Chain A
Amino acid sequence: DQQVKQNSPSLSVQEGRISILNCDYTNSMFDYFLWYKKYPAEGPTFLISISSIKDKNEDGRFTVFLNKSAKHLSLHIVPSQPGDSAVYFCAASLTHYLDTGRRALTFGSGTRLQVQP
């Protein structure tokens, strides 16, 4: 049972327009959410994060929105650029109940974003 779901495997947008990537989660114990970006043949790189006590976090062209009641978060990229073309993973974190020193990351399956010039 996937606790973090990215229901859109792919998304295509025009350069300069907004890209909206969505993520849903089921575990209400998650208290921190992250977005990672992955280019082919590279490892994921951290993009932006948000604590569960906030509903919005912004970093340049990237904004993450969190709706706790709906268990939904989204990543907005404005304006989209061709260099943003990559796979985006949503991840959620909580304190593992067996090991409070461990922060377990649960990843979604990813959304491939293609930004057309």
Chain B
Amino acid sequence: NAGVTQTPKFRVLKTGQSMTLLCAQDMNHEYMYWYRQDPGMGLRLIHYSVGEGTTAKGEVPDGYNVSRLKKQNFLLGLESAAPSQTSVYFCASTDEGTSGRALDTQYFGPGTRLTVL
């Protein structure tokens, strides 16, 4: 099992450019998440998905869009990149517990380091 993989690992963009970050998981997890990590701050939730075809906003969704067309993939898009979006982006996934809610233990990908000039 590869677990959670992220593509690309690094990217440099100019202000105004667009890009898509890809997250893939092979654990058949229902729940997937996108976080960003900035210096001196914890991971902050951007968007999440509770299943194929569903997406929802997290704590810091502005400037990002997401799609979950396939259960194993969760895409994060930046339509017009800004320097404030320079960050390390982490994708995570988890399964559904017996209570019908997401389990608290999340599995993370290795991250994508994005720089916006």
Contacts and interface: CB of A to CB of B under 8 A. Distances in A.
Contacts, number: 65
A80 interface: no
Interface string B74-117: 00000000000000001010000000111111111111000000
Interface of A: 2, 4, 6, 9, 32, 34, 36, 41-46, 49, 89, 91, 93, 95, 99-110
Interface of B: 4, 35, 40-45, 48, 50, 56, 58, 90, 92, 100-111
A107 B46 CA distance: 13
A105 B104 contact: yes
B109 A43 contact: yes
Contacts of B35: 107
Given A43-B4, A89-B43, 17 more contacts: A4-B42, A6-B42, A9-B40, A34-B105, A42-B110, A43-B108, A43-B109, A49-B104, A93-B104, A95-B101, A101-B50, A101-B100, A101-B101, A105-B104, A107-B44, A108-B42, A109-B42
